[in-house]
Chains A and B, each alone.
Chain A
Amino acid sequence: MKKIFLRSVLIVALIVAWETAARVHVVSPFLLPAFSTVLRRLYTETVSLQLPVGLGLSIYRSLVGFALAAVLGVAIGILIARVNSARWFFDPLVSIGMPMPKIAFLPIFVLWFGVFDESKILMVAFSSVFPVIVAAWAGTENVERLLLWSARSLGASDRGLLWEVALPAAFPQIMTGLQVALPIAMVTDIVAEMAMGGQGLGGDMMQAMRFADSPGVFAGILAIAIAGSALVKAMELIRRRLLVWHAEAEHA
């Protein structure tokens, strides 16, 4: 509890500092619009529905791309761990794909899929799938062999070993991979929107920038920051709920 209190105090202090600095014109209001101005802009944008629509679109694209990456990534990761030919094929792809700046592929996705939602969603999926594959692969491969042996001696079939033992045992690691992938999904979507324009938080921000509308730009950043934090927090809660048996172990 104390931590939350301290953190809130700090945030409040920062906001106060921001507001004061802006009011006092430490820098021009263009460079640093007052916090109250930004808040007011968020309010008007919410009322005019511009913010809800933009936010909704960005979240929609991020989450759909993320979901795609999650399903594909887990499937491929498990496949790699279990099937040697899959490992041979995917290992170099994953190993090269991880450190690559995948955002560079955005123009290719635009070429192939157009300028609407599909290209953004697929770009998001492409960027986020790699950490999921790596996590699912590692999690499945590293299942404690005594667990598998116990299951076999209790009568588990080969299929049973995968679905009843390996996957649940790998789940914490898979979940971590998903938690890494989510922020990547959001960032990729924002950048794609900024580059391609149109509706969405990214597009709105670039638009504001073109009109030298700094409160608009800052409002966008605030909205993204809040939305991002909310999604990450939601993921943490989901993890705690699903991994209640694991959470116990972490605190034990």
Chain B
Amino acid sequence: MAATEIAFEHVSHTYHPPRGKPVLALDRVSLAVREREFMALLGPSGCGKSTLLYLLGGFLPVEEGRITVGRSPVAGPGPDRGIVFQNFALFPWKTVRQNVLYGLEKQNLSRAERERRAQEFIDLVHLDGFEHSYPSQLSGGMKQRVAIARTLAIDPEILLMDEPFGALDAQTRGLMHEELLSIMERAPKTVVFVTHDVREAVYLADRVAVMSARPGRIKEIVETGHVGRPSPEIVKSRDFIDKVDYLWNSVRQEALLAQSERSGAW
């Protein structure tokens, strides 16, 4: 079992839009994620939290700084870091079953083992019965579950989630939170979870890293103090509410900064 602690060391990233000046998206971000930790990245829009995730995922090249997973530097995407996107990114021409099988087919498994695992994860996300449906026939929540099943099926050691529940309505989001926590209970992984929803971050994560407005830096890191799986009741506790308030204000400060920067640029 490979070590899965993640380290960002002085990572900077610049975007070069086709027209216009280069934009510094991340400014010497340093962050450590412990093994099996659930780390939430919180921040206003445009702060670079998704960019940080994409760099970790290997989708963008690391030009300045270092990102290591278990001491080895990241060098491109791979099945050790599974990713779930906000817009699901399901292959629309494949059925649910075919989507989930996709990653499994790249591994050295027998046909029977592949099918078994695919079914296992489809069942896990409660989509049994929909194996032969196309993504266009599914609701948002169902699509997101397929995306999660597809990623988990290849058993990545690290799970990257980019605002995975952002496109869902509040009810579905709540259900997905519980499903995600159940999955984590069964097979714990190191998770880096990007969101702009403060309550979601505090509920799900072990630690919450707040990012500043662009260019993104780590402003502060807050421990949520969960021991084991949080129960839904916890959202009513004094401690939870205080933490949410605190973080909300922290993020809000950054959001206001970002806004004034934009209007200043006029």
Contact = CB atoms under 8 A, between A and B. Distances in A.
Is there any pair of Cβ atoms, one from A and one from B, under 8 angstroms apart in the complex? yes
B136 A150 contact: no
A162 to B, nearest CB: 14
B78 interface: yes
A146 to B, nearest CB: 4
A245 interface: yes
A151 interface: yes
B246 interface: no
Interface stretch (B18-26, B100-108, B119-127): B100-108
Interface stretch (B34-42, B79-87, B175-183, B235-243): B79-87
A244 B137 CA distance: 11
A245 B136 contact: yes
Interface in A71-124: none
Interface in A151-168: 151-156, 160, 164-165, 168
Contacts of A149: 54, 57, 59, 77, 83, 85, 89
Contact of A245 (B54, B82, B93, B151): B93
B106 A155 contact: yes
B87 A155 contact: no
Contacts of B79: 153-155
Contacts of B76: 152
A140 to B, nearest CB: 15
B162 to A, nearest CB: 9
A169 B94 CA distance: 10
Contacts of B59: 149, 152-153
Contacts of A246: 92-93, 136
Contacts of B82: 153-154
Interface in A35-64: none
Given A248-B134, A248-B137, A252-B136, A151 B102 contact: yes
Q: Is the interface of A mostly helix, strand, loop or mixed?
A: helix
A249 interface: yes
Contact of A147 (B57, B91, B106): B91
A146 B85 contact: yes
A213 interface: no
A168 B99 CA distance: 13
A147 B87 CA distance: 10
A156 B101 CA distance: 12
B78 A249 contact: no
Contacts of A168: 91, 93
A114 to B, nearest CB: 43
B81 A153 contact: yes
A156 B106 contact: yes
Given A149-B57, A153-B79, A155-B79, A165 B91 contact: yes
B154 interface: yes
A240 to B, nearest CB: 14
Contact of A155 (B78, B91, B134, B137): B78
A169 B134 CA distance: 14
Interface in A217-252: 244-246, 248-249, 252
B145 interface: no
A169 B107 CA distance: 23
Given A155-B107, A249-B136, A147 B89 contact: yes
Given A155-B103, A252-B136, A150 B93 contact: no
Given A149-B59, A154-B102, A171 B85 contact: no
Given A146-B85, A149-B59, A245-B134, A154 B150 contact: yes
A144 B89 contact: yes
Contacts of B154: 154-155
Given A147-B91, A149-B77, A152-B58, 11 more contacts: A146-B87, A146-B89, A149-B57, A151-B91, A154-B79, A154-B82, A155-B78, A168-B91, A169-B93, A245-B134, A249-B92
17 contacts: A146-B85, A146-B89, A149-B54, A149-B59, A149-B83, A153-B57, A153-B77, A153-B79, A153-B81, A154-B106, A154-B150, A155-B78, A155-B154, A169-B92, A245-B135, A246-B93, A249-B92
Interface of A: 144, 146-147, 149-156, 160, 164-165, 168-169, 171, 244-246, 248-249, 252
4 smallest CB-CB distances across A and B, nearest first, come from: A155-B106, A154-B103, A249-B136, A152-B77
